[in-house]
Amino acid sequence: MRPFRACNIEQWADRLDARADMPTLLRRLVHATLRDSSRVDFPAWEGIERPGWDGVVVSPTGNSFVPEGISYWEIGASRNVKGKADGDFKKRTEDPIVAMPSNSTYVFVSPRKWTRKIAWCNEKKGLGQWKDIRVYDSGDLEQWLETAPAVAIWFGRVLGIRPLGVSDLERYWDSVSSLTNPALLPEVFVASRSEEESKVLEWMAEPPTVLAIECRSLSEVIDFVLAVLTRLDPKLRDCYLSRSVIVESRDAFDVLRDSACPLILLVRPSLALEADLVSSATRNGHHVLVAVTRITQTNVKAMPLPRAYRYELAKALELCGYSEVESERASRAAGGSLTILKRRLATVPTTNSPSWANATSASRISPFLWIGGWTSNCEADCQAVSRLTGCCQKDLESAANMLAECEEPLLIRGPDRYSLLSKEDAWMLLGRHVSESEFNQFESLSAEIVIDHGRRPWLWPAPLNGAFG
């Protein structure tokens, strides 16, 4: 999963953001490839201006790139690599601050190519001032990135090179949160899901297994997991992000499951994978997350992802900057569905609509918009709905179940009733397909309700709730 080479890293070194992003790259590489560490500290961006070492790592074992014990790191993106290395080495050796050179390893890292690095390293080792000295240049960074696929995918985006079949979590989250204005905070996606949030974090901390999450709208699963990670303490978040990848193709999954670096593979809901393929990934030391519906999960024990309660969702939207009125209106219209919420609050139009939201399906589905809901064990209600839809009661139940169990359902099914998941969303998607004849038909039928109940349901979908019983 390496879409770039050392030359790309060297070109990136000329960019203004390279100096600020280098500590992030090293921090994530350490987190991704080091199994045990008591300290990993690489301040990035504003933090690079603070005095002290550019990085500090403490590890009892180390690996081929991270020294055993305590190591102090200096980073330089200057074109004059030797000049920068000499200056940093002299400064830190004369004034090591908290470091004890004789018990510590000195590491210098440059995103440039340095052909004389081995000679420089041997020269400084000969002084006998540090326990050990290492130098990494662009070629070493390329090799290190080969061992950390999730970091390589993220860094590829930084370089402007996106590998096929995968997405890094930050890019995905940026696209989700910036879909609206104000942007949606993680609190929106974890509303009413605190117990599930804890279970996801427990799963990530335990030995590798498959976690199946059941949800009415499969796209909400990855949104939820990313929101959980985004809410973590920055150091712990970095640790998980450095090992997490959204997998979008079978070829990418095949490559990643063989990685020696333990990964958290979030399978895109649109990607179908056989059970033995997923199982092989966990045997190789990877966590795998899959999204399922009640229809697709078969014998898999899945964790249900509940709908958000209106009050908690409204409060989360207020945290984002929406007014109390806007938050209440949006949470009511969402019907507990975060997919519907995103669709209704999005500042740009979407071409991705539910399978039932098209002109072909509209004629047989639009009657449900007029009805709003009905009691399934009330024969009179079912007869009224059958008249509107033109279906016999058996076909009506089959159609209603299909609309309640599909991805992004139109209906929600209770123990003894069906109702629209979101009246506002349903009308927004299907309203333009409703014909005058359908309106007249419903108006005629609703006259019976008006006589018995004194209400005019055709002005807005209103559940029958046994109105004919």
What's the confidence (pLDDT) of residue 351? 57
Residue 272 is predicted with a pLDDT of 87
pLDDT digits 0-9 by tens, 420-440: 887 777 777 777 777 777 777
- Cβ neighbours around 122 below 10 Å, total: 10
The pLDDT value given to residue 139: 96
pLDDT of 127: 94
Please say if the pLDDT value at position 466 is more than 60. Answer: no
Q: Which pairs from 93-100 meet CB under 8 Å and 24+ separation?
A: 93/129, 93/130, 96/72, 97/52, 97/53, 99/53, 99/70, 99/72
pLDDT of amino acid 368:
79
- Strand-pairing partners, residue 224, are none
**The predicted structure's pLDDT at residue 315:** 97
Distances (CA, A) of 77 to 41, 71, 122, 354: 19, 20, 21, 49
Q: Which strands make up the sheet holding 244-247, listed edge to edge?
A: 166-167, 244-247, 264-267, 287-292, 210-214, 303-304
Distance CA 161, CA 155 (A): 8
* pLDDT (0 to 100) of residue 43: 87
pLDDT band of residue 12 (cuts 50, 70, 90) is very high
Percent of residues, the chain, with pLDDT higher than 90: 54
Q: Cα–Cα–Cα angle for 325, 330, 336, nearest 5°?
A: 130
Q: Is the per-residue pLDDT at 249 higher than 80?
A: yes
Q: What mean pLDDT is reported for the chain?
A: 86
Residue-level pLDDT at 72: 95
The sheet that has 132-136: what strands, in order across it? 39-41, 55-59, 69-75, 105-109, 132-136
Query: CA-based Rg of the chain, rounded to a whole angstrom?
Result: 29
**Per-residue pLDDT tens digits for 279-303:** 999 999 999 999 987 655 556 689 9
Q: What distance in Å separates the CA atoms of residue 84 and residue 330, rounded to the nearest whole number?
A: 55
What is the pLDDT confidence band of residue 318, given thresholds at 50, 70 and 90? very high
The Cα–Cα gap between 18 and 38 comes to 27
How confident is the model over 88-106, as a mean pLDDT? 89
Place of tokens 């060297």: 10
* 8 Å CB contact between 142 and 9: yes
**Residue 365 in contact with residue 410, Cβ under 8 Å?**
yes
The model's pLDDT over 50-65, given as tens digits with 9 standing for 90+, comes to 778 999 999 999 999 9
Task: Among 96-110, 388-402, 447-461, name the most confident range.
Answer: 96-110
In the chain, % of residues over pLDDT 70: 91
pTM of the model: 0.83
pLDDT digits (tens, 9 = 90+) for 337-384: 898 899 889 887 765 677 777 767 766 777 777 777 888 787 777 877
pLDDT band at 450 (very low <50, low <70, confident <90, very high): low
Q: Specify whether the CB–CB gap between 308 and 193 falls below 8 A.
A: yes
- Mean pLDDT, range 176-181, rounded to an integer: 89
Around Cβ 338, how many Cβ atoms within 10 Å?
25
* pLDDT value at 465 more than 70: no
For residues 325 and 193, the answer to whether their CB atoms sit within 8 Å is no
